[in-house]
Amino acid sequence: MGVIRELRARPGPFVFAALVVVVVWAWFARPPVSWTFALVFLIGLLGAFLTNGRYALQRVLGVVPILLVVSFIVFSLMASLPGDPAINILGPAATPDAVERINAELGLDEPFFNRYGNWLGDAVMGDLGESVQLRETIADGVSRTLTPSLQLMAYSLILASLIAFPMGVYTAYRNGQRQDRVINAVMLGFFAVPPFVLALTFVLFLAIGGITVGDTDIGFKILPGARYVPLGESVVDHFKHMLLPALSLALGISAIFMRLLRSDMIGTLRLPFIDLARSKGVAPRRILWRHALRPSMFTLLTVMGFSIGGLIGGALITEIIFTIPGIGGYMFNGIVSRDFIVVQGGTIVIATMYILILVLVDFLYLALDPRLRTSGGSGLGGGG
């Protein structure tokens, strides 16, 4: 069919459209997070198969060894941490009999590798175990806490992109001149501030009224400094509460994005086709945004993929400061209260998502960069 051939030739728009549809649907229909994620991944997979099936298959299969290694590392770490799970559950006054009984029940007296095998087998089926302390399954706990974390990540990324793209394009255009140097310096500042310091500064100056120097107050009280309001409750409040946390994460990330975009863009702007466009009289703004931006985005895309993955579990301290019930906090509490099964489950979920995101980014490359698409054909150049 002509449609199939058309899709094969230009999968990019199709994949993009499908992704947009999924996101919009998820916004309104609110299916469980894992479903949405799985759907997005499958669409990406489909796009990749249409483009270059073999490569897609290899990439997906290549994920398995990494996941095995990760699961083993995580499991061994958790199994080796000090603290007896039975005593954690029963309390310090537990009798040896009770401890033995709990151990047998939970399968804690089996050999190490058996436990690993069991856990892995269950995890693949979706059963991540149960947290006795929190009285819920890990799966539930993860789903519960994943949503705020994902929202935080998404908002941070959007804010970061909103800052980074214009800044990156502009500084590439004005490379070496004063505007470039000033913006670079400011961005370096953002990059250098540890996110939790930035968060606290924001809280100080925007939420609790700032400092008093002499007789003057420097600061505002316009934004909330803590708490989380789910999207369902109140959209306005939700965003008000998420603004500061997202911003404190976004500024640091935007610096990295801007840097990468800028350096790639500088390279692209030197290429002859830009001069050609200019000589044809195309306006600078159009050149920058329409012609130069797309080829310059590749490094940025890769790093974006890393950022997404890194942010899911890595915004731990921000979540603590702003008391957002995200998965970082969930796992951290697990560590603190010696509830290691929580940490195990959470980590493996995050790691899986991270890896799949990286694979997705690779697939996105296929869609965006036509050079990667073909096998066969004389893409092999000179030099006998």
Partner 1 sequence: MAGSGSAHLRNEHETLLRVENMVVEFPIGQTGDVVHAVSDVSLDLIEGETLGLVGESGCGKSTTGKAIMQVPRPTSGSVQLDDVELTTLDDDALRETRPTLQMIFQDPISALNPRRSVRDIIAEPLVIRWEEEEGRPATSLWFERFGQQLFTRVASVVVKPMRFVLPLGAIAMVLWIISEAAEERRFEDQLGWTQLPAQIIGFPVLAIGLGVLAVLALLSAIWLLLGIFVPFGVVSKVLGDISRPVGLACALFSAATWVFMVWRTWNSLTGYSAWIVRVFVIGFAVASVVWFVVALTRSSASGATSVALALASAAALQVFYISGLDGVTKLAVLIGAAIVNLIVWRIVKRQLGLRRDELRARSEPKVREMLETVGINPDNALDRKPFEFSGGQAQRLSIARALITDPKVIICDEPVSALDVSVQAQILNLLEDMKERYGLTLVFIAHDLAVVKNVSDRVAVMYLGKLCEVADPDDLYAAPAHPYSQLLLSAIPKPDPTKPAEETPNTGELPSPIDPPSGCRFRTRCPLAQDRCATEEPTMREVAPNRFVACHFPLIGSDDEGSATHAGATAAGAR
Partner 2 sequence: MGAVSNIDRDVEPGPDWRGDSINAAATEPAFVEEAKLNRGGFGVMFWVAVTFLVTLTLAAIFAEVLPLYEFDETFRGENRDGPSRSHWFGVDGGGRDIFTRVIYGAQISLIISSVGAVLALVIGGMVGLTAGYYRGRVDSVITTFTDATLVIPPLILALSLILFLDNDANRRILILIVVFVLLSIAPIGRVVRASTLVWSEREFVLAAKTMGARNGRIMFREVLPNVAPALISYSLIVMAGLIVVEGGVAFVGLSVPPPTPTWGDMINKGRGDLDVAPHITLMPAMIMFLTVLALNFVGDKVQERFEPRESVL
Alpha carbons 258 and 169: distance in angstroms, whole number: 8
Alpha carbons 81 and 97: distance in angstroms, whole number: 23
Query: Are the beta carbons of 108 and 102 closer than 8 angstroms?
Result: yes
Query: Are the beta carbons of 128 and 327 closer than 8 angstroms?
Result: no
Residue 266 binds partner 2 (CB under 8 A): yes
Interaction partner, residue 55 (partner 1, partner 2, none; CB < 5-8 Å by kind): partner 1
Query: Are the beta carbons of 147 and 229 closer than 8 angstroms?
Result: no
Q: Which is nearer to partner 2, 242 or 258 (CB)?
A: 258
Residue 384 binds partner 1 (CB under 8 A): yes
Residue 371 binds partner 1 (CB under 8 A): no
Alpha carbons 86 and 73: distance in angstroms, whole number: 22
Q: Which is nearer to partner 2, 18 or 317 (CB)?
A: 317
* Paired residues of 211 in beta bridges: 218
Q: Which is nearer to partner 2, 287 or 360 (CB)?
A: 287
Of 179, 345, 163, 342, the C-alpha closest to 257 is 163
Residue 253 binds partner 2 (CB under 8 A): no
Q: Is the dihedral of CA 6, 10, 11, 14 positive or negative?
A: negative
Of 248, 296, 246, 290, the C-alpha closest to 271 is 296
Residue 234 binds partner 1 (CB under 8 A): no
Query: Are the beta carbons of 68 and 75 closer than 8 angstroms?
Result: no
Q: How far is the CB of 62 from partner 1 (least distance, A)?
A: 10
Which 64-83 residues touch partner 1, going by CB under 8 A? 76, 79-80
Residue 278 binds partner 2 (CB under 8 A): yes
Contact letters for partner 2, residues 287-306 (x by CB under 8 A): x-----------x---x---
The C-alpha angle with vertex 170 and arms to 165 and 173, in degrees rounded to 5, equals 130
Stretch that binds partner 2, among 155-163, 169-177, 232-240, 241-249 (CB under 8 A): 169-177
Residue type, 352: T
Neighbours of 112 (CB within 10 A): 11
Interaction partner, residue 111 (partner 1, partner 2, none; CB < 5-8 Å by kind): partner 1
Alpha carbons 152 and 145: distance in angstroms, whole number: 11
The C-alpha angle with vertex 358 and arms to 356 and 360, in degrees rounded to 5, equals 70
Query: Are the beta carbons of 143 and 34 closer than 8 angstroms?
Result: yes
Residue 270 binds partner 2 (CB under 8 A): yes
Residue 226 binds partner 2 (CB under 8 A): no
Q: Which is nearer to partner 1, 2 or 65 (CB)?
A: 65
Residue 122 binds partner 1 (CB under 8 A): no
End-to-end Cα spacing for the chain:
39
Stretch that binds partner 1, among 126-134, 173-181, 334-342, 372-380 (CB under 8 A): 372-380
Q: Which is nearer to partner 2, 164 or 303 (CB)?
A: 303
Which 340-369 residues touch partner 2, going by CB under 8 A? 343, 346-347, 350-351, 354-355
Q: Which residues bind partner 2 (CB under 8 A)?
A: 65-66, 69-70, 73-74, 77-78, 80-82, 172-177, 188-189, 191-194, 196-197, 200-201, 203-204, 208-211, 256, 259-260, 263, 266, 269-270, 274-275, 278, 284, 287, 299, 303, 309-310, 312-314, 316-317, 320-321, 328, 331-332, 335, 343, 346-347, 350-351, 354-355
